[in-house]
Structures are given as structure tokens and as C-alpha cells.
Amino acid sequence: MRSLCIKVRKGKGESVRKKLLEDGLLDQSLYVDKDGDFLYLPITSVPGGHIVEERDFRGREKEERDYKALCEVPDALRDLLPTSFDTLGDIAIVRLPDELLPYAENVGKAMMEAFPRLRSVFMDHGVAGELRVRDLEVIAGVDDSSTVHTEYGLRFKVDPRKAYFNPRLSNERNRIVQLVRDGETVVDMFSGVGPFAIMIAKHARPAQVFAIDLNAEAVQLMQENIRLNKVSNVVPLEGDARQWVFDLPCADRVIMNLPHSAKDFFADALTRLNLGGVMHFYHICEKDEFQSVLDELVQQARGMCVELRVVRSEELKTYSPSASVFSADLLLVGWL
Ligand SMILES: C[S@@+](CC[C@H](N)C(=O)[O-])C[C@H]1O[C@@H](n2cnc3c(N)ncnc32)[C@H](O)[C@@H]1O
């Protein structure tokens, strides 16, 4: 089918695609097309700042339409079928409301039929514990949650039952990559299977990226991902970040992606940050509370005789009806 489209270089394809999606301009009924180093993103209307051309695209409306239509559930429950779900490589992870639990296998089967690229569908029972591993129940396909996920041209071996990975953070990771200056020392305190660390090492020019995780399985996957993506300056470290940071050189950038308890590591991380360095701080709280959390961090820093400035903060995603995941970039300005 013929459509207007935007031509972008492959390296930029993911961020442009997500922006078009957010702005409601991506034509989701058509497949993105590839040719050499370029991607062609079909659009429903013309956004500003892009050169637009016309091209033939393959339709995907059959897949989109089929999943709900194929699913055997009572008509009264059909509206409860989830419209979105996460895909990691060739597996899908879906959350179901209680009413649909007796029909979970039907949902899985319909998704497998409608999206032939899927190898398995898992029902998500949430993330738990210090290691943030996901409780998954297979509802269709093989009961194996390990897969290879592609993000910004990088390949990550992941297994959400063994180690945390969130595909929805890809834009945030890319945002941080753009901030890294040549020669920086970066410490990723809670690195999981290494997506922040490896993306920084691959797409920026840091001196070194130290990537710590308490979960031995996460570190093992990270080591595989370092090899898979052929990066040489990521140093994977297994253990407690609170202890490791004192054995490492001071950092120009510290990433603290442990949103439930990064606050508990704040003081230790701050003592290991160079003047002029930046801390990327992630936190889950009630939607109207993040500003006071940031004020507290700035005060806590004052108590340590340093000036910390919030240079950017953002609500990243909704966590529950009243709470969200937030991110903030905190600059260590200097001594008081
Ligand atoms: C929310 S996940 C973030 C993973 C990664 N940054 C990503 O984006 O995929 C938090 C990670 O912190 C690890 N973790 C929890 N407590 C830790 C600690 N005290 N020291 C180091 N890592 C820890 C967990 O094992 C988990 O992999």
C-alpha cells in the first residue's frame, strides 16, 4: 500500500519512530520498511521538521485486527482484552485483569496466531524482591523466557525471570548516551544485564563504564551482552553497589536506576561523584511528591557541604493510578 513516510538513518530510527508514535503520527497499520542504511517510517500526516516522501508498504492490519477477534472470550469481557503488551525479542509479556484469568490461555493462543513472530506469550505477575526479577507464567508457546532483544541497533540477551530488563526505558537510555562527553568515567550502580552501560560504551566515547549488579545472573548476561555487542570498555562487577563505589575511581556520571530505593544509596554515590559530575536519579513516588524528594536531596547534599543542582526532571512512566517513575539529572556544582 502506498503511503507518505519519513526516511531516517537506522541509528536514529528508534527515537524518531517513538516520537511519531507518541505524537500519533506513525501509521501503525503498515510495516516499517528498510533499505540499506535507511528506515522508512509510514505516517498518517506530515510532522514538522522532516522531509517526506512516498513509498509502498506492507500492511499489518490483519495482525492488529486478528488478535482480539481471534480470542475466545465471552463478549462481555472482550473490551477488557489488553490493547498493549511488552515484547522482548520474540516473547510477549502481558498483564491480564482478574476477569480474564480463566481465559489466559485463549489470550496467549490468539496472540501467537495474530503475531506469528512470537515464540511465547507470558502472563506477568509483576516484579519482586531486591533483584527485581519478574514472575512469569507461560500462557502460550514454549516455557522459556530467555531471548535476544534489539534496541538502538544493539542486541541484548535477556531473561526477565533471571534479571530485570525494561524495553520501555530505551529512549531514556538513548537520552543519557547523548549527554556523555568524551573520556568520562561512568558508574552504572544498578546495571542489570547492561543496557545503559553497553549503549554508552557503544554510542558515546567514555574512558570506562563500571557496571555493578548484585544479581549474579544479571552480571552473567551482561558479560554475554558485552561480547555480543563487541564493547571493550565496560567493566562488569558483581556485588553491592554501596560497597563497590568505594573501590572505584570517582565518576563523572553515576546512573542510579533502582527506583524503589536509590535514595538509600544517594549519600554514598554523591561522595564518589567528581565536581561537575552528574547523577541520573530514578525514583518511584506519588505523582505530586517528586519535587519534595528532589528538595530533600538538595538539602542532604548541603548537609554534606556540596551544592547539587537539579538540571532536569521528568515523569518517565505511570507506575500505579497515583504513583509514577521519575527521573532527575543532578549536577554536582561545587563545594559550599
Ligand atoms: C530496576 S533494575 C535496573 C536494571 C538496568 N539499569 C536496566 O535498565 O535494565 C535494578 C537492578 O539493581 C540490582 N540491585 C539491587 N540492589 C542492588 C545493590 N545493592 N547493588 C547493586 N545492584 C543492585 C538488581 O539486581 C537489578 O538488576
How do the domains of the chain map onto residue ranges? 2-59, 62-145, 149-335
Q: Which of 86, 151, 222, 258 to mutate to test the pocket of ligand 1 (most atoms within 8 A of CB)?
A: 258
User: If you compute the radius of gyration of the chain from its CA atoms, what whole number of angstroms results?
Assistant: 21
Q: How far is the CA of 254 from the centre of ligand 1 (A)?
A: 13
Backbone angles phi, psi at 258, to 5 degrees: -140, 75
Pocket residue to mutate for ligand 1, from 176, 190, 198, 243, most atoms within 8 A of Cβ: 190
Give the class (CATH, top level) of 2-59.
alpha beta
Q: What is the dihedral of CA 287, 289, 293, 296, to 10 degrees?
A: 170
Q: Is 127 in the pocket of ligand 1 (CB under 6 A)?
A: no
Query: Which DSSP helix (H) or strand (E) runs through 188?
Result: strand 185-188
pLDDT of residue 62: 59
Q: Which of 86, 130, 213 to mutate to test the pocket of ligand 1 (most atoms within 8 A of CB)?
A: 213
CB of 214 closer than 6 angstroms to any ligand 1 atom: yes
pTM: 0.84
Q: Give the pLDDT of residue 182.
A: 98
Topology of domain 62-145 in CATH is: GMP Synthetase; Chain A, domain 3 (3.30.300)
Do 136 and 205 touch, CB atoms closer than 8 A?
no
The pLDDT of residue 65 is 61
Q: What's the CA-to-centroid distance between 276 and ligand 1, angstroms?
A: 25
Spans in the chain with pLDDT lower than 50: none
Residues sharing a CB contact under 8 Å with residue 153, sequence separation 6 or more, in sequence order: 10, 11, 14
Compute, in angstroms, the gap from residue 269 CA to the centroid of ligand 1. Answer: 15
The matching CATH number, chosen from 3.20.20.70, 3.10.150.10, 3.50.50.60, 3.40.50.150, for 149-335 is 3.40.50.150
